[in-house]
């Protein structure tokens, strides 16, 4: 309730509050909301963040006004990830999110290079991200310099139903970590494939536009533009070929 807070001069803070979704502009699209958070980002980087938050392709063009509560939460989380920060304060970030969205959130936060301070009751988030715990329980505040599974194994939760002080032990977690690593790898591969598909679509659209423009310039007999367009077409065709090769692999 009292005291002093000292911040390092290089600290850049990102904050997710449960009511912050009300600050989203209903007239903007998801892409525009994320883009205006950090104008230094390229459109490709903005679209990648949209994809990470499960707004791939045309979904990024949805207006905020038509989004559900969970979609607004994901948009806000995307804005936080787009903002240049090295410390994230997240207050129950899983609220309104379905299981798949929580997985996407966890994966994004695992890739975040800075520090996280999270308030959460979600055990999936705790297991995946927490390396140190501050536990509020029965009027006490205890600090544990360990992850959640280790906390459960060594301490556990007191059984509040009978007041006996007995410890709740976690369910069997045989092969738990192996399963989680496999799921994480599958999610990463799925995200990589979706990004490749988006890049292929973008390149094929560009190729179509270049060919249409080439036809126009050919009718005008504009040799300079024809040469430039021919170079662009050759470059994009090579890009598409490389992308399909990577996609096949």
Per-residue pLDDT tens over the stretch 125-137: 898 899 999 988 8
Look at residue 20 in the predicted model and tell me its pLDDT.
65
Alpha helices in 89-175 (DSSP H): 99-111, 123-129, 148-154
Q: CA 172 → CA 131, 149, 176, distances in Å?
A: 21, 11, 8
How far apart, in whole angstroms, are the C-alpha atoms of residue 231 and residue 215? 14
Structure confidence at residue 73 (pLDDT): 81
CATH T-level assignment (fold) for domain 13-129:
Rossmann fold (3.40.50)
Within 10 angstroms of residue 207's Cβ, the number of other Cβ atoms is 17
Indicate yes or no: pTM above 0.85: no
Name the residue ranges covered by the structural domains of the chain. Answer: 13-129, 177-248
Q: What angle do CA 28, 72, 69 make, to 5 degrees?
A: 130
pLDDT at 46: 92
Q: Please report the pLDDT score of residue 163 as a whole number.
A: 47
In tens, the pLDDT along 52-76 reads 888 988 899 999 999 887 788 888 8
User: Tell me: the pLDDT tens digits for 116-162?
Assistant: 999 988 888 898 899 999 988 888 888 998 888 888 888 777 654 44
Give the model confidence (pLDDT) of 18-45 as tens digits.
Answer: 666 677 889 999 999 999 888 888 999 9
Taking alpha carbons only, the member of 80, 151, 144, 136 closest to residue 112 is: 80
Q: Which stretches within the chain are classed as H helix?
A: 30-37, 43-52, 69-82, 99-111, 123-129, 148-154, 176-220, 223-248
CA dihedral for 57, 188, 90, 138, sign (positive or negative): positive
pLDDT at 166 (0 to 100):
43
pLDDT, tens only, 1-11: 899 989 899 99
Token reading at 137 = 């329980």
The pLDDT of residue 161: 46
| Alpha carbons 177 and 173: distance in angstroms, whole number | 8
């Amino acid at each position: 309730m009292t005291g002093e807070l000292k911040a390092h001069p290089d600290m850049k803070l990102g904050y997710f509050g449960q009511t912050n979704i009300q600050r989203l502009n209903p007239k903007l699209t998801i892409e525009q909301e994320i883009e205006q958070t950090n104008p230094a980002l390229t459109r490709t980087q903005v679209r990648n963040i949209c994809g990470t938050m499960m707004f791939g392709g045309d979904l990024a063009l949805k207006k905020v006004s038509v989004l559900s509560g969970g979609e607004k939460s994901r948009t806000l989380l995307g804005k936080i990830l787009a903002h240049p920060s090295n410390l994230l304060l997240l207050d129950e970030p899983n609220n309104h999110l379905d299981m798949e969205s929580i997985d996407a959130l966890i994966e994004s936060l695992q890739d975040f290079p800075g520090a996280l301070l999270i308030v959460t009751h979600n055990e999936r988030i705790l297991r995946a991200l927490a390396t140190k715990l501050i536990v509020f329980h029965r009027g006490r505040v205890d600090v544990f310099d360990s992850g959640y599974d280790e906390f459960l194994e060594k301490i556990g939760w007191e059984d509040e139903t009978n007041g006996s002080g007995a410890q709740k032990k976690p369910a069997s977690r045989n092969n738990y970590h192996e399963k989680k690593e496999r799921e994480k790898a599958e999610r990463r591969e799925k995200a990589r494939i979706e990004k490749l598909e988006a890049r292929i679509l973008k390149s094929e659209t560009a190729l179509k536009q270049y060919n249409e423009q080439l036809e126009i310039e050919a009718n005008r007999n504009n040799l300079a533009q024809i040469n430039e367009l021919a170079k662009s077409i050759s470059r994009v065709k090579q890009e598409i070929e490389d992308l399909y090769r990577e996609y096949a692999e």
